[in-house]
Structure 1
Amino acid sequence: MKNKQVWVLFSFCLLFFTSCVQSINRITWYLQEFLPGWVLIALLLLILYVVANGIFGIGCRDIQTRVARGINYLHRKPIIASYTAKATAIHKLKIIHNNLHQLQDKKQAESLLQEKIRLEGELKRRDLVTVVFGTGSSGKTSLIRVLTGKTIGTVNASMGSTDNCLQYRIHLTKSERGLILIDTPGILESGYQGHIREIKARWEASRADLILIVVDGDLRSQEEDILQSLIALGKRLILVLNKCDLLGEHEEEYLLRELRSKCRKLISPLDIVSASSVSEVPSISASGVSYLQPEIERLTNRITDILLKDGEELIISNVSMQCEYLYEASRWLLNQQRQIDAQKVIEHYMWISVGVIVVSEIPSLELISMAAVNTRMVVEIARLYGVTLDFAIAQALVSSMGHALVSLGILKSGMSLIGSALSLNTPILIISKAVQVVTLAWLTRLIGLSFITYFEQKQEWGEEGIDGVIQYYFDLNKRDRLLKHFLEVSYNRVVEPLKMAQRK
């Protein structure tokens, strides 16, 4: 039925097309008697245009609309990305706020709070923070002096002159935003003081929206490494070839080509510019004395262009990255605290649970494995990680852990390991009981550590599952140093009391 409808439609279209052609042919022959050939051709083209526009006009307008929307989206995409990054940063700050209130160390909590307040202010910042970064005496301070039009710092040809990071604000005429320039100490200087100065410079660079890397020649290998490390942080860089007043025109062009070639995978060629920060240096020639003027127009134009096109995105991206670092720091501090508290819980239940064996007859291996996994211990560890664990769920976790101990052979291996260690200095009459009690405490420790991992990973065992986690802690805790420390504590807490009980 469908094929029949298609053929009918095709026949109708063919008939209509044939009729149109015949009609046009008759009209053409008729008009030839009254009109010149060129007028007739022009008329036919006009008719074809009107028909084509009638048929395809709507489609063309639709295509134009879609293209216009696409171009509009591309213009809006950085703005959308900025709003998304800003929303993410605000969300991270809320989590940081919750984390710092859970910290018991008040100094750590206060430090986090101050940094959080600073970042909240940074989200509202309008000025672009630009760090001027480079080797000692590459001309950073002189460049800032020209950019700001102020006499700042001192200039010394032998080494860098900046010991501290100093800030200067300038306003570029084409932009509503301001530019905060930060002069940093020189990098790659020798000695302890040089190392400290470099740490200060790198710290400021890590918090900048834009970095001007100032060089006065070709890049050295150490400078290339620093360049790559800054790009790895997600920073926008402008590479400035400074002191071009000391170079010939061909030498300047050659160095710019070399820099663009070396950095072609790291920095856009547009972001590699030359500058001269000379300040009215006299030049004597046959025509008399003239003064060299600084040449920073290409640099200021590039900064202005970046400020206008990407200023908002650079600020939000930088602050968002700092929020992420602070979030990770707050998580790490909170996890460290939780681990310490959870280890105390494990220590508590290690020695409470030994009573299961001390007051009973010698149990089977399965009873030892189940006794080692204390449901209350799991519930308490969960609470430390902000998880309210239902007792039935905790029992199910306990059961799965007990089966893992037996199926992996950890229970037998643990008893053999502990038995070999205790047999050297434990009386024969209590050796069996001592091995069972100490093994129970040791297994309780392994299992408690496994549950710390489980709750740190948002109640997930990971790719290798519960078996992989318990096996990891078994292998870790049977190492000589850890096992020796555990046995020393166990001897005092288990073997000695058993000896005294035997004497009585």
Structure 2
Amino acid sequence: MPSTNRRVRLLTLAIVALLLAALLWMLLGALRSAVALWHELSDLPTWLSVSLGLLVAAVAGGGIWLGWRVLHPRARKQKPVVAPTRPEIDERIARLEQQRADTSQLEAELRELDKRRHEGDVYVAVFGEISAGKSSVIRALAPGAQAQVDVLGGTTRAVEHYRSTLKNGREVVLSDVPGTREADAAAREALARDEALRAHLVLYICAGDLTREQDAELRWLDGFGKPLILALNKIDQLGEHDASALDSALRTRYCDVVDAQVLVSAGGSEQVEKVHADGSKESHSRARPVQIDALLAAITRLSARGAEALEPARETAVLGALSQRAGELETSTRATQAQTLITSYTRRAIVGAMAAVAPGSDLVIQGTLATALIRELARTYDVAIREIDIDAFLKQASLSLRASTAIVLAIAGNAMKAFPGLGTLGGGVVHAIAYGLIFDSLGRAVATTLAEQQQFDQVHASATLKKLLAQTSGERMREIAALALRAHQEYDLK
């Protein structure tokens, strides 16, 4: 074993020696080339040698600069949010109402937008993590103010507002939003972000270096183009040297993001221990000094233009968020409507299979029903579709289904056996369930393609259909079997 380790060390030493020799050889070669180039330049006319020297220096300097930029990339400033106009939002909400979607929260947000515009107050949202001391900063900015609790859009969580008078006599409304990264985080963070969008000015509180999540929040807020203040709180607890170093680092990193950066101490209390001459100790509480003059000056400067001048950026932020929420509501509403259509046509296919003279003799899709289903799904997703594309897709689907007839029938048979009340019925129910499975899979495949592609992609729809036919979850098959049972009962009653 020792001899093996010795050989490994000798081999490593030899490799290192070879690398050092190669490096030395390269340096000597470069030096030799440089000397030869210098002699050649010295023989040239002065103007030409100086020009070539400047060119070499420029190339070298450019290489050094490029290497520096690669190793120290500049953070990209987030692009401003491009928001729709108010009439465009009103039109989208009207369309959603026609589709019987619940637009109450969207309408409440528009009412709040109009309310704050007419009031003319400057709103300042105090944003940040729960541990950053947001509430202490608000108490320092508005001492003795009573909170006005607003419950917006039916939410059970409130946003507290405090009125504060700045040194120039202007009144501002401070919005105390829920702290991020606290219990029930998703709902509270959504409320905090919404209030930050409704404000004219955002005050972002931190108590140390920003985490990756905080960095993303700050840059997200910057994207709306409204005034943004970064306040480093609790500087009295950091110490003068650490506070100065952190302040400098944050300024370098966020100089293109925030409009002002200030150091803050929001006061509060601290425990102090006093040691007496006899060695006894006494602990008591004392108030920390409040240092918010720089913050007040920043708020005063950035709000000096008044609410009317700050309104366009605020409206852009609110309308941008409303556009996103309207899009999410459109997606969910279309998905609900599509599923209603699929269920309806699946039931029709089941009834049609039960009424057939020779049910299940072939698992070819019932063309008329399938064509009508695809047309209605296309209208739901507002996608133009050609008859030739429908025919081609159904032809391809029929070929695929013929090849998997045995599998589809086996799945339908298992569903019938597992579902109470179907096992005693005739074999025609198996074919009816099979048709139900086919139509349910067909409808889901087309709806998925229209939602994801925003067009009718035959290849995508065919691939999705195959996956759905193979992925028959218990809940899905129970729903199809229940449709078959109800259809069978209704058919027998006729």
TM-score of the superposed pair, with normalisation by structure 1: 0.58
Q: Which has the higher helix share?
A: 1
Which residue of 461, 465, 470 corresponds with 2:465? 470
Equivalent residue runs for 1:265-280 within 5 Å: 268=257, 271-278=260-267
Which residue of 173, 179, 196 corresponds with 1:180? 173
Distance 1:484 1:167, change over 3 A: same
Q: CA offset at residue 440 of structure 1?
A: 2.6
Partners of 1:296 and 1:388 lie apart in 2 by: 60
Which residue of 445, 454, 465 corresponds with 1:450? 445
Aligned amino acid, residue 262 of structure 2: V
**Deviation sequence 1:272-314 (CA, Å, 0-9, x none):** 32134459x9xxxxxxxxx998544433443355446993553
What does residue 456 of structure 2 align with? 461
Partners of 2:433 and 2:189 lie apart in 1 by: 53
Partners of 1:462 and 1:300 lie apart in 2 by: 58
> Equivalent pairs: percent with the same residue?
20
The reply to whether residue 92 of structure 1 matches residue 92 of structure 2 is no
Partners of 1:323 and 1:440 lie apart in 2 by: 42
Partners of 1:405 and 1:420 lie apart in 2 by: 18
Aligned amino acid, residue 111 of structure 2: I
Equivalent residue runs for 1:50-199 within 5 Å: 85=82, 87-103=84-100, 108-121=102-115, 127-134=121-128, 138-148=132-142, 150-152=143-145, 165-168=160-163, 170=165, 173=168, 179-184=172-177
What does residue 278 of structure 2 align with? none
Aligned amino acid, residue 96 of structure 2: N
Unpaired segments ≥5 residues, structure 2: 1-78, 148-157, 271-286
Partners of 1:385 and 1:249 lie apart in 2 by: 60
Distance 1:489 1:240, change over 3 A: same
Does the 8 A contact of 1:102 with 1:334 survive in 2? yes
What does residue 4 of structure 1 align with? none
Aligned amino acid, residue 452 of structure 1: A
Tell me which structure has the larger Cα radius of gyration: 1
- Identify the range of structure 1 (122-131 vs 467-476) with the bigger mean alpha-carbon deviation: 122-131
Aligned amino acid, residue 123 of structure 2: V
The reply to whether residue 219 of structure 1 matches residue 218 of structure 2 is no
What does residue 404 of structure 1 align with? 396
Equivalent residue runs for 1:371-450 within 5 Å: 371=367, 373-382=369-378, 393=386, 396-407=388-399, 409-419=400-410, 422=413, 431=427, 435-450=430-445
> Secondary structure of the residue that 1:353 maps to in structure 2?
helix
Does the 8 A contact of 1:100 with 1:330 survive in 2? no
Cα RMSD of the aligned pairs, angstroms, is 4.9
Partners of 1:456 and 1:487 lie apart in 2 by: 27
Does the 8 A contact of 1:128 with 1:179 survive in 2? yes
Aligned length: 378
Q: CA offset at residue 315 of structure 1?
A: 1.2
What does residue 277 of structure 2 align with? none
**Deviation sequence 1:191-219 (CA, Å, 0-9, x none):** 78x99977765653464444323344x23
Q: CA offset at residue 316 of structure 1?
A: 3.1
Q: CA offset at residue 441 of structure 1?
A: 2.9
Q: CA offset at residue 355 of structure 1?
A: 5.0
Partners of 2:405 and 2:322 lie apart in 1 by: 45
Does the 8 A contact of 2:354 with 2:488 survive in 1? no
Does the 8 A contact of 2:159 with 2:175 survive in 1? no
What does residue 321 of structure 1 align with? 320
> Secondary structure of the residue that 2:404 maps to in structure 1?
helix
> Secondary structure of the residue that 1:354 maps to in structure 2?
helix
